[in-house]
Amino acid sequence: MSIRERLSGNEAVAFAFKQINPDVMGAFPITPSTEIPQYFSQYVNNGEVDTEFVPVESEHSAMSCCIGAEAAGGRAVTATSSAGLALMYEVLYVAASARLPITLACVNRALTGPININNDHSDSMGARDSGWLQLYSENNQEAYDNMLMAMRIAEHPDVRLPIMICQDGFITSHAIENIELVEDELVKKFVGEYEPQEYLLKKENPLSVGPYDISPYYMEHRVSQAQAMKNAKQVILDVSAEFAKMTGRSYGLFEEFMMEDAERAIVIIGSSAGTAKEAVRQLRAKGEKVGLIKLRAFRPFPMEELGKALNGVKAVAVMDKSEGFSACGGPVFAETRSACYGLPEQPMMINYVYGLGGRDVRVESIQYVFERLSEIIENGTTGEVYRHLDVRGGEYSGL
């Protein structure tokens, strides 16, 4: 029997950590993820968990603490946002290359500059090639559920990679929603105990962690990481299927929303999917054949699966809540367009960068995007591919 509660996204993630009872949390505060270690430290202080809580002097140290704990054979968790994740960048790569399944709660926030504390995806997108798994959450329930599945995925013998569970800063992290929690005993049984094969404190097999790879070996090391990322797709699906049996809540690599006969579609990540779904519902009520794909897994990227889902759609707009500064679009667009390259019925595709620094996205904004897709189908050409939404003096602005 599930437990019904009202929690913010940060509270939900902290509660998931409490139920999991990790060995170590390395933590340094940064808005808007500060509440996660704050709430969790109360559980530590109250004796509700056995976790060693390590308050460190920086986010670089927080990740280094987690690396040491995982290398020694323990489960380690942390939380961060924005510049905090950026300060971790060096050791993010160390964690991934050492195949340490650390769990990180990333509460997405814009990166400086200019200084901004509100939501976009520039922090986690900047770390997209670090070798970490990345799952994105639309709402508080999904943030909680993703966190319960995170360790099962990351610690799987075919994967053994670190994982970050992302949710949108303030939009979900601080907003209170109804949520269904899983009973403690079921969580413990589902997550299980961490059983690393090799670790620093295993006296039967002394080893070093984080070696220097000379040229004859470095590439093979990287290839093994790449293969683990490929393996993660099936593991995500398997763990999600088991989670669905336990809770009735189903997740995949992405969600298809009203895509059965869609001629126009958008691809989107995170909390904005909720707004976009409402836009789709309203347009469907008018008889328009529109749909939406919400990406859950960005690393590994579901290239083949997404391409299949978009095959035959006439026009697609990919929504990026991160500016790629590539002069040709954002990171989600680049990967989605690649997924559709060579399809038998390849859609015409455009990119909208939107929502930077917390800029609100409205139902009307998404409907405007669908209107542009109609024009593209009618004209038979995309026109400008790389666009920005809701910008003063720009193509479209409700400001």
| The pLDDT of residue 208 | 82
Q: What average pLDDT does the segment 237-247 reach?
A: 98
Q: What average pLDDT does the segment 123-128 reach?
A: 98
Q: What average pLDDT does the segment 108-128 reach?
A: 96
Query: Which DSSP state fits 194?
Result: -
Are 145 and 97 in the same domain? yes
Examine the pLDDT at 1 and tell me if it is beyond 80.
no
CB 92 within 8 A of CB 67: no
**Alpha helix (H) residue ranges in 132-175:** 140-154
Who has greater pLDDT, 191 or 397?
191
Residue 328, both tokens: 């040709």
CB 353 within 8 A of CB 323: yes
Give the pLDDT confidence of 52-72 residue by residue, as tens digits: 999 999 999 999 999 999 999
Percentage of the chain surpassing pLDDT 90?
93
Give the pLDDT confidence of 299-314 residue by residue, as tens digits: 999 999 999 999 999 9
Whether 105 is covered by a domain: the verdict is: yes
One-letter amino acid identity for 182? Answer: V
Give the pLDDT confidence of 167-212 residue by residue, as tens digits: 999 999 999 999 999 999 999 999 999 999 888 988 898 888 887 8
- Residue where one domain finishes, among candidates 212, 247, 282: 247
Are 158 and 70 in the same domain? yes
Are 24 and 173 in the same domain? yes
Examine the pLDDT at 247 and tell me if it is beyond 70.
yes
CATH code: domain of residue 208: 3.40.50.970
| The pLDDT of residue 399 | 60
**Alpha-carbon distance 274 to 277, whole Å?**
5
Are 209 and 304 in the same domain? no
Q: Which residues, listed in sequence order, are joined to residue 317 by a DSSP beta bridge?
A: 266, 350
Are 48 and 197 in the same domain? yes
Whether 318 is covered by a domain: the verdict is: yes
Q: What is the DSSP string of 288-309?
A: --EEEEEESEEES--HHHHHHH
Residue-averaged pLDDT of the chain: 96
| The pLDDT of residue 176 | 98
| The pLDDT of residue 398 | 60
Helix axes 215-247, 140-154, angle to 10 degrees: 130
CATH code: domain of residue 309: 3.40.50.920
Examine the pLDDT at 364 and tell me if it is beyond 70.
yes
Q: Which domain holds residue 283?
A: 254-388
Are 130 and 229 in the same domain? yes
Examine the pLDDT at 293 and tell me if it is beyond 80.
yes
Are 243 and 324 in the same domain? no
Are 129 and 172 in the same domain? yes
- Residue where one domain finishes, among candidates 203, 219, 247: 247
Are 152 and 72 in the same domain? yes
* pTM for the structure as a whole: 0.97
Whether 108 is covered by a domain: the verdict is: yes
Are 371 and 303 in the same domain? yes
Examine the pLDDT at 397 and tell me if it is beyond 70.
no
Whether 393 is covered by a domain: the verdict is: no
Whether 345 is covered by a domain: the verdict is: yes
What values do phi and psi take at 53, rounded to 5? -90, 120
Residue 195, both tokens: 């059983």
Are 104 and 220 in the same domain? yes
The answer to whether the bond into 114 is cis (omega within 30° of 0) is yes
Number of domains the chain contains: 2
**Alpha-carbon distance 372 to 387, whole Å?**
11
**Alpha-carbon distance 140 to 15, whole Å?**
12
| The pLDDT of residue 42 | 98
Q: Which residues, listed in sequence order, are joined to residue 380 by a DSSP beta bridge?
A: none
Are 207 and 269 in the same domain? no
Give the pLDDT confidence of 318-334 residue by residue, as tens digits: 999 999 999 999 999 99
- Residue where one domain finishes, among candidates 247, 273, 290: 247
Whether 333 is covered by a domain: the verdict is: yes
Whether 396 is covered by a domain: the verdict is: no
Q: Which residues lie below 8 Å from residue 293, measured CB to CB, with a gap of 6+?
A: 254, 255, 256, 257, 259, 265, 266, 267, 268, 306, 309, 310
Whether 398 is covered by a domain: the verdict is: no
